[in-house]
Amino acid sequence: MSNTKIKSPNVYDVRVLQRNVGDGTLSRDELDGHMRDLPDVASKSQPFDTTLRGHERDDEDEAGDEQE
């Protein structure tokens, strides 16, 4: 029987990974193994439009000039 506890999926949350590795909740080896075991889902990806409707940018705004 292994002494390894099953980790909650929350310890792998990208928003807290650095903290969990830093405080020892998750070892670097555990993280590397988890990342290695993730399935490749690239074939399931789909492009999407990120255009904001109703928020037209002014050419001066893009140059960093302030509007009056």
Domain boundaries, the chain: 1-39
pLDDT band with cut points at 50, 70 and 90 for residue 8: confident
Please indicate, yes or no, whether the overall pTM of this predicted structure exceeds 0.75.
no
At 28-38, the pLDDT tens digits run: 999 999 999 99
Burial 25-46 (b: 16+ CB within 10 A, else e): ebeeebeeeeeeeeeeeeeeee
Percent of the chain with pLDDT strictly greater than 70: 74
Q: Which residue has better confidence, 11 or 66?
A: 11
